[in-house]
Amino acid sequence: MTALVIRALDTEHAALFDTLPDPLGFADTHRRTRHRTEWRRVAMRDGRVVARGAWWGGPDDSQPINVNWFDVEEGEEEAGAELLRSAPWQVELELTLPSAHRDDPALRAAVRARTAAAEEAGYTFLVDRYLYRWTPADGLPERPGRLVFRDEPDDGVFLDALRRIHRGTLDAHALRAVAESGDTERAAREELDFFHWLPSPRSWWQVAYTPDGEPVGIHIPGHNPSGPCVAFVGVLPERRGHGYAYDLLADCTHFLAERGAEFIAAATDRGNFPMAAAFRKAGYPVIKERVHFAPPPPR
């Protein structure tokens, strides 16, 4: 077998990225995504692309925050692993998959090849997530009217709520942060940093209260670089078990729809059954799934 060549792309050679088949439909998934040419890399053998990766970050990010496009030919898993290993950025890897990927043999094989390459490079499975996309054709979810929603300018209120929400959380990313740090502080601050990273107005953040003024939770209507999204929904631990996640999600949906959203993206972990139930009740269809892999530890 001839030697492998890893190549970072530039404008002159950008078209090389499109020479590999796309069995998992990443081109359609990322049709709204802007990938910087210099953050795309390919692995080549005999002048032919056998693996490719696109790293992504927001418009103002100086470094990518994830790999969200990763393809490798079956049988070239080691080439894919070397593509990931040799990259200057060791960040989370995301594979966005068709919902039918478990039932279709060709799709299963494509997922296996990419997973094997990622694991060979030292990445570890973190979580499977449902991806949702609500449109006005799905209908606005009914607001139960049990809660009062207010904007809140004090970040400290949200940080305190996040500390509490992440006690007993079912979210895998938060659970990892809690396990690594020993408490909920890091998870809460990472979440707050994400809210600030979003280009949507800070004034959109909402705190939910009972009619007698007791806090219940928070929701963050947002815009990510691709459009409107449910950035966060969280119920305080002492308020769980009453279906309030649906109330928060319904209000978040109305909030964005009233501001002209033609679609709303959202996601939750497959194992977060209460939140998945809230999305079903609110009429959010699952359009794809996403597998997240944590990067290898720093060398």
Give me the mean pLDDT over the 289-296 stretch: 97
Closest CA to 168 of 245, 214, 236, 246: 236
Give me the mean pLDDT over the 128-132 stretch: 98
Give the pLDDT score at 2.
86
Q: What is the fold of 4-122?
A: Aminopeptidase (3.40.630)
Q: Give yes or no for residue 265 having a pLDDT over 90.
A: yes
pLDDT tens-digit series, residues 24-51: 999 999 988 999 999 999 999 999 999 9
Q: CATH topology of 4-122 equal to that of 137-288?
A: yes
Q: Which amino acid is at 46?
A: D
- State phi, psi for 162 to the nearest 5 degrees: -65, -40
Domain 137-288 = CATH 3.40.50.1400: no
Vertex 197: Cα angle to 196 and 199 (nearest 5): 95
* The pair of three-digit structure tokens given for residue 74, joined into one six-digit string: 């079956």
What band does 110 get if pLDDT is binned at 50, 70 and 90? very high
Taking the model in full, what pTM does it have?
0.95
Give the pLDDT score at 219.
98
pLDDT tens-digit series, residues 81-101: 999 999 999 999 999 999 889
Q: In what helix (H) or strand (E) does residue 82 lie, and over which residues does it extend?
A: helix 77-85
Torsion angle of C-alpha atoms 135, 141, 145, 150, degrees rounded to 10: -20
Q: Give yes or no for residue 1 having a pLDDT over 70.
A: no
Give the pLDDT score at 139.
98
Q: Give yes or no for residue 292 having a pLDDT over 70.
A: yes
Taking the domains of the chain in order of start, what are their residue ranges?
4-122, 137-288
Q: Tabulate helix, strand, coil % of the chain (nearest 5).
A: 35, 30, 35
What band does 298 get if pLDDT is binned at 50, 70 and 90? confident
Whole-angstrom Cα distance, residue 129 to residue 292? 8
Looking at the chain, the whole-number percentage of residues with pLDDT higher than 70 is 100
- pLDDT, averaged across the chain: 96
Give the pLDDT score at 171.
96
Partners of 56 in the beta sheet? 66
Give 280's DSSP letter. H
Looking at the chain, the whole-number percentage of residues with pLDDT higher than 90 is 97
Give the pLDDT score at 32.
86
* Strand ranges (E), the chain: 4-8, 40-45, 48-56, 66-72, 92-98, 124-134, 148-151, 206-209, 215-224, 227-235, 264-269, 286-294
Closest CA to 28 of 124, 96, 101: 96
